[in-house]
A and B are shown apart, each in its own frame.
Chain A
Amino acid sequence: MSDPVNSPDPIDPRPEPSEEFLPEDAGPRAGESHEDPEPSPFDPIAPSGTEASAGDDQKPPAHILTDGEIRARSAGMTRRSLVVGAIGAAAGYAGYRWIDRSEKDGRQELPLRKALHVDAMVSRAVFDERGLAPTYSVERAEDLRFNGPYGVRDDLDPASWRLQLAGVANPEKYPHFQKDITTWKYIMTPRNPDGTPAASDSKGPAAAPQPGVWVRSKDGFGDPMRGQEEAGESDSTLEDGTPGISLTMADLLRLPRHELVTQFKCIEGWSQIVHWAGVRLVDLLDLYPPAQVNGRDPRFVYMETPYGDYYCGYDLSACRHPQSLLVTEMSGKPLTQLHGAPLRLHMPIKYGYKQIKRIGLIAYTDKRPDDYWTKLGYDWYAGL
């Protein structure tokens, strides 16, 4: 796409046309001559010289282009432009191939994964995630649809549930201190498949596999195996012997109760207004503040289901958002097993896949935590 000889500047003012005053038989529209101080980008570049030849003896007659020469000049420009266009198209296709064939990072092409990180940086810088989600009247709330069984394929005995906290400052000063929180045994029972709702996938029952009774595998020592879902074991699994705090539901419910009616948004594209109740995550974090890292708070929070089947990473700031809620009730009723009983997260500044069900562990960390759906190609940040 190259412009012709005079490289006309498109914003050049147009010179005064003079051809209106030429006699008709002098040739229509033949007014421009190369002697013009400012060649016009709009007026004909080809016709010239008629004026000079029209009786002005001082100027040598300029060559008058014929129609054929004008067409030839146009054809030359067309060839040059098509070459440039072909090079551009080839470059574009090469760019696509480069992206498509690039190394994958968590099932996402590396350049696109990096772009997601840049998007997150921009969002953090511009919005700071301090915005509050709109709230609604309770009447507008619906029962949240059950969309995925990941991490909740069997039933958890509520009596065996503990909320483990790791990375808390001076954990030994709390009465619920445990020298090793990784050895706690959650008691799981196989779920009667008749109790499984028909919908277990957003694409309906036809596409959703209907497993029989799901049973967790055991390792050679008879211990339950971790990471039994598609994304496999978490990279942020606590090391054996990690000390921490182990809370019961009664401990947790000493925090002030909060209700919230906000919209739950799934990255698949659907959304529902839901009535939540529970305790604020920020209140828990304030009660058990993190151990400092180099004189400051750690940057991240990691959460996982018992045995780490499902896991999520968050910025600490997102967990301190006033609407980040540790949910014990939905639609005015206690959480069901499929919705993550006894404790799940609602975080209206994040997509649903960050709103982890059946939380067993909350850990402070300064290393960006692993994240279930990030491993399967989704964005880690997932901000709304």
Chain B
Amino acid sequence: MESKLPQAAALHPAASVSDLPGDEQAAGPTIRLELNHPRAIRWMHWINFPILFTMIWSGLLIYWGDSDNGYHHPHRIYRIGIGSVTLFRFFPEWVYQWLNAPYRITTGLGYHFFFMWIFAINGLIYVAYLVLSGEWRLLVPTLQSFGEAIQVTLYDLHLSKVHPPVKKYNGAQKIAYTAIVLMGAGSLITGLAIYRPTQVHWVTTLLGGYEMARWEHFFLTIGFMAFFLIHVAQVVKTGWNNFRGMVTGYEIRPADQPLYTDELTEGHPYAAGHGRSAE
């Protein structure tokens, strides 16, 4: 990497540093603050949390109306199982009781068809920001991410002792966070296909018809729930410093480690320009 100031620094090595008082200061700090998540990303992340929660909650109130009741059987697809073997049916009665879901379809519809706008707009702005800011370069998986994701998974499951490379997002994260954006888009599209199936019948047909679109919408929601559980568990496991990155934007990092954005400079397929620079 080229520098504008290397010679000056190189010609005047640390001789004078030793003149400064205090060993610690003379050596310089061993840590630094590095901006990990820009302000816009943090706002959109935290806004999305209660909005997505509201969409899932209201969606479950709606879904209760067609939940399997052991009486009609056209809904056996909302389950985990094959053929006549069903391991789990969505959802057990206690879940609905816990949610106070029975006979609250209108509450669900009211919230769902209001917060859908906020969910959609927040998501669209997020994607636009990723593209315009260049943040997508650090987020979208590369070919290497898939191998790395396996490595991360083995490490997290304590099946491997090889620590994955420290990056802003490791391969598993890149895949997960990109997938969740695509799932959000999928929820909007399948949602529209259910919401106005006559007016956008070509979308509904492309998705396999009205009932398939509902099934897809439902299992995307199950996917969000699974993501949420794993995401929270991983954040708890990774610790406060990482979490703080999504709160203040800054992480405390060892001063001798490369910057997160340095990832983009070493033959990275998306490394056009520098780091987060706008295109």
A residues near B, CB below 8 A? 1-4, 8, 10-14, 16-18, 20-23, 25-31, 41-47, 50-51, 53-56, 61, 64-67, 70-71, 73-74, 77-78, 80-82, 85, 88, 92, 99, 107-109, 111-113, 115-116, 119, 123, 126-127, 129, 131-134, 145, 199, 202-206, 263, 265, 267-271, 348-349, 376-379, 383-384
Which of A66, A92, A99, A204 is B50 in contact with, Cβ under 8 Å?
A92
**A residues less than 8 Å from B39 (CB atoms):** 1, 3, 10
B20 touches A61 (CB 8 A): yes
Using a CB–CB cutoff of 8 Å, the interface residues on chain B facing chain A are: 1-17, 20, 24-35, 38-40, 42-43, 46, 50, 62-63, 65-66, 69-72, 74-75, 105-107, 109-111, 113-114, 117, 132-135, 196-201, 205, 210-211, 214, 244, 247-250, 252, 255-256, 259-261, 273-278
CB distance from B185 to the nearest CB of A (A): 19
Q: How distant is B93 from chain A, measured CB to nearest CB, in Å?
A: 12
- For the complex, what is the distance from the CA of A27 to the CA of B3, rounded to whole Å? 17
Among B10, B32, B201, B273, contact of A47 (Cβ-Cβ < 8 Å)? B32
What is the CB-to-nearest-CB distance from B202 to chain A, in angstroms, rounded to a whole number? 9
Complex Cα distance, B105 from A134, in Å, reads 27
Q: Interface residues of A: mostly helix, strand, loop or mixed?
A: loop
Contact partners of A108 in chain B: CB under 8 A: 106, 110
Given contacts A13-B274, A47-B29, A383 and B199 within 8 Å (CB-CB): yes
- Shortest beta-carbon distance, A207 to chain B, in Å? 8
Q: Are B278 and A11 in contact (CB under 8 A)?
A: yes
27 pairs, A vs B, C-beta closer than 8 Å: A3-B35, A10-B38, A11-B134, A11-B277, A16-B2, A21-B7, A27-B29, A28-B30, A41-B35, A42-B275, A44-B33, A53-B17, A54-B16, A55-B11, A55-B15, A56-B8, A80-B248, A92-B50, A99-B111, A116-B113, A203-B71, A204-B69, A348-B198, A349-B199, A379-B109, A384-B196, A384-B199
Indicate if the CB atoms of B5 and A18 lie closer than 8 Å: yes
Contact A131 B201 (CB under 8 A): yes
Known A-B contacts A28-B255, A70-B33; A53 and B16 likewise in contact (beta carbons under 8 Å): yes
Question: Which A residues touch B34, using CB under 8 A?
Answer: 42-44
Q: Assess A46 versus B259: contact at CB under 8 Å? Given A11-B134, A11-B276, A23-B13.
A: no
Asked whether A18 lies within 8 Å of B3 as measured between CB atoms, the reply is yes
Q: How far is the CB of A35 from chain B (nearest CB, A)?
A: 11
Return the chain A residue nearest B14 by Cβ. Answer: A26
Contact present for B199 and A129 (CB under 8 Å): yes
Shortest distance from the beta carbon of A173 to any chain B beta carbon, whole Å: 37
Leading 8 A-B pairs by shortest Cβ distance:
A27-B28, A269-B66, A44-B32, A377-B106, A55-B12, A204-B71, A112-B110, A10-B38
Contact A46 B196 (CB under 8 A): no
Please pick, from B5, B13, B32, B198, the residue contacting A25 in the complex, using a CB distance under 8 A. Answer: B13
Excluding A11-B133, A43-B34, A44-B32, 18 further A-B contacts by CB distance (< 8 Å) are A17-B1, A27-B17, A27-B255, A30-B255, A44-B34, A47-B32, A51-B9, A54-B16, A55-B13, A64-B28, A112-B110, A115-B113, A127-B199, A132-B198, A199-B71, A203-B69, A205-B71, A383-B199
CB contacts (< 8 Å) of A202 on chain B: these are 65-66, 72
**A116 cross-chain contacts in B, Cβ below 8 A:** 109-110, 113-114
Please tell me if the beta carbons of B199 and A131 are within 8 angstroms of each other in the complex.
Answer: yes
Contact B29 A64 (CB under 8 A): yes
Question: Do B249 and A268 touch across chains, with their CB atoms under 8 A apart?
Answer: no
CB proximity of A316 to chain B, nearest CB, Å: 18
Residues from chain A with Cβ under 8 Å of B260 in the complex: 42
Chain A proximity of B84: nearest CB distance (Å)? 21
Q: Which residues of A sit under 8 angstroms from B7, Cβ to Cβ?
A: 21
A45 vs B20: C-alpha distance when bound (angstroms)? 21
Alpha-carbon separation in the docked complex, A23 to B74 (Å): 72
**Cβ of A70 and Cβ of B13 under 8 Å apart?**
no
**Partner of A268 from B10, B66, B252 at Cβ < 8 Å:** B66
Are B274 and A26 within 8 A (Cβ)?
A: no
* Cα separation A61 to B17 with both chains bound (whole Å): 10
In the bound complex, CA of A319 to CA of B3 (Å) = 73
